[in-house]
Structure 1
């Protein structure tokens, strides 16, 4: 009943959705040159042969599946991959990071016609949906075409689960197209099972299987030369409201560390000019990377408002605070700095990575801090105490290494669907 109602309403929503896309494009949230993709109109031809379609909502999800994409294509020389996401930032990252024989397109908006046109063109042999972004029309079209479909790296919070439990029939219908769900944790597996997916297994988090973030060696050498022997820390993937927390932490540390350099990497680089202006208004000497402003001895905050360079700054800074965790976003991946030897701190809200955060904290590989004062205290302690910093990074690396086989477990669980879809499975 709810699915029918939703489908009927979205049949009528085309003009409103197009206006919404135009407004988003005006704010830099959509790529005007690729607007057709959002309406289900392809801008690339379908490659010949077997095609696996992986849908990942945004940056974190798309980065998490890169090891899976690489392994699938390495095992089958005749196969191709289509990766869809919904954000401009993730599209730019995929353009840099996808392997050969993999292409990116924007996911179509959830209008019935757009979904049909998208699937008519791409005709995937296998569908892998990532984490928990469920679009009823698109998943319904996959189900009606009887395409082999699995939910991978599945994540479902307790809050979302309670919401779905209010509409059990709709939830069961929506999720019925998934022949298999591979959850990150046992708790999430239990929730998905309760919503009606019959075959659910907890296999771990693919984010553990990702390779360390890349960095340009020349750029890193230049940054190290500019920084010299100054103490430096990075606040990574910051959201609105967190730059002020980082600035307050810097101010608290500046008395004891007058030559401290704080590196701010905004999650959305287009916010760089606004962030720099606000920090300069607080009396801080700010330089912006996107504006090609150099780090000088008087620079106090370096706003790294570029895309895909986090690997540089995790290598540069011995201490990293993970953003999205102080303002209720749910945090970002703490494994990324851990793999590059940067001691990990984050704020009180790590719901997006709850299991990873719990394991890191239990092993002494990360520390949760409450506010700017606690952040400043711990950054100062870690910058001053090399052995404590080394112990933190070693513990985090051990946790990451222990969990790196998640991609192997995902591939093993997907074996029957890969066989059904005609994919070759050989050693990578």
Structure 2
């Protein structure tokens, strides 16, 4: 099965590279560092004094989730170096923003495509002692090559929904063989662990979600405070990490609900994917609404008077959360699985979430049970719920305190994961 999988990779490679080049028209980062995706790295890597720890975080969300673990690994192993791999330019840019302070102790690269020869070249070049895959990344050839070369593979902060489990089942022995090649899984919940064990992984431990351990950067809080000062006393409804199709629903509901919302409310929309910033701006204008882009807003003594602020900056999500009164977490109005609600909760913000949260089901249910989040049915319900909370300071503040308490109670996954890794590094 893996031989067939490898053959399909080689046959698809011209199409994959063509798609990469075409996507680069909108996102120039996709046209950079191609050699890394093929397993070529130029001159030999500088030898590290200690272990080389390979952490793979596919894109933005996984990279941000990996921050507490990366920092903890570098502190636990002072002579170590981390190789941080990604699949997307936005993930790489996020990694650069988060970890530039570590200097030469952290090296970034794209993950090579999942063929035996490309992965082998990566391992020969960087010589990792361990491979740590974040959350849901399972690559059959990568795991097989690591096994052959004596590099233990760890799936950290692991989650697996019922939907993803059914998808894995369609690949039969390809996925079960890969699962048996994983040395350790640190699962977010017992439900995730149960589903992962059903694939044949021998060692699965429940550690909780590392995302609860994220430390809000002081710089983000300062930016958030400056943004809030520019906005002034206007109440702010943030729609964060929105996905394609959601913004249109939100804008329609916003226009319909304006009489119920506070008259000076500011709607702050932050699309998850930067290539859609222009598209969303045009969408807002088509509704006859005034829009200002964050990238053109001077954070000094300016006064924001637009109906909508478009969050078109990278690496400022914490600042947006800090500046808002209520946070709706996107990817949940449509069947996309939702996004991480831990960050706004950690900042003490009331969280609104849609019906589709299968990627973060237990975290969402726990936040709902703690009274720090509320599930909304659709975009109209989002606006009516936001209107009620914005007009009720006491209810809004209570919900925010509940959210912060919920986030604080679940810390510690990084420490537990680090303890499990000691035998493998």
Q: Same fold (TM over 0.5)?
A: yes
Contact 1:10 1:112 in 2 (8 A): no
Matches within 5 A, 1:333-352: 333-352=340-359
Cα drift, residue 273 of structure 1: 1.6
Q: Deviations over 1:53-94 (max 9, x none)?
A: 011221111111111111111112100111111111111110
C-alpha displacement at 1:3, in angstroms? 0.7
Q: Structure 1 CA distance, aligned partners of 2:366 and 2:97? A: 31
* Secondary structure of the corresponding residue to residue 26 of structure 1: coil
1:230 matched to which residue of 2?
A: 234
* TM-score (norm: length of structure 1): 0.92
Choose which of 315, 319, 323 in structure 1 pairs with 2:326: 319
Q: Tell me how far 1:162 sits from its aligned partner.
A: 2.3
1:115–1:137 Cα contact (<8 Å) kept:
yes
> 1:239 deviation in Å?
1.0
The within-5 A match list for 1:257-336 is 257-292=262-297, 296=303, 298-336=305-343
2-structure distance, mates of 1:248, 1:390 = 28
1:358 Cα deviation after fit: 0.6
Deviation at 1:285, TM superposition (A): 0.6
Note the alpha carbon deviations across 1:29-54, whole angstroms, 9 max, x for none: 74323222211122683442310001
1: CA distance, partners of 2:360 / 2:47: 35
Quote the Cα distance in structure 1 between the aligned partners of 2:279 and 2:296. 13
Q: How far apart are the structure 2 equivalents of 1:247 and 1:190?
A: 40
Q: Is the 8 A contact 1:215 1:309 kept in 2?
A: no
Deviates more, 1:43-52 or 1:232-241: 43-52
Question: Are 1:48 and 2:48 an aligned pair?
Answer: yes
Separation in structure 2 between the aligned mates of residue 84 and residue 242 of structure 1, nearest angstrom: 30
Q: Is the 8 A contact 2:348 2:402 kept in 1?
A: no
Deviation larger for 61-70 or 288-297: 288-297
Name 1:17's counterpart in structure 2. Answer: 16
Equivalent residues of 1:151, 1:182 under 8 A apart: yes
Equivalent positions of 1:88-167 (< 5 A) are 88-98=89-99, 99-100=101-102, 101-167=105-171
- What CA RMSD, in Å, does the superposition of the two structures yield over aligned residues? 2.0
Return 81-90 or 286-295, whichever deviates more: 286-295
Residue in 2 that maps onto 1:403 = 410
CA contact (8 A) 2:92 2:108 kept: yes
The TM-score with structure 2 as length reference comes to 0.92
Judged with a 3 Å threshold, the aligned counterparts in structure 2 of structure 1 residues 26 and 136 are, in CA distance, closer, same or farther, namely farther
Change (3 A) 1:167 1:324: closer
The answer on whether the counterparts of 2:20 and 2:30 sit within 8 Å (CA) in structure 1 is no
Q: Which moved more, 1:384-393 or 1:31-40?
A: 31-40
Partner of residue 425, structure 1: none
Q: What residue ranges of structure 1 are gaps of 5+ in the alignment?
A: 419-428
Give the conservation status (yes or no) of the 8 Å contact 2:355–2:377. Answer: yes
Cα drift, residue 163 of structure 1: 3.1
Q: Tell me the distance in 1 between the aligned counterparts of 2:369 and 2:318.
A: 25
Q: Does 1:415 align with 2:422?
A: yes
Aligned twin of 1:70: 71
Does residue 391 (structure 1) correspond to residue 424 (structure 2)? The answer is no
Unaligned runs of 5+ residues in structure 2 are none
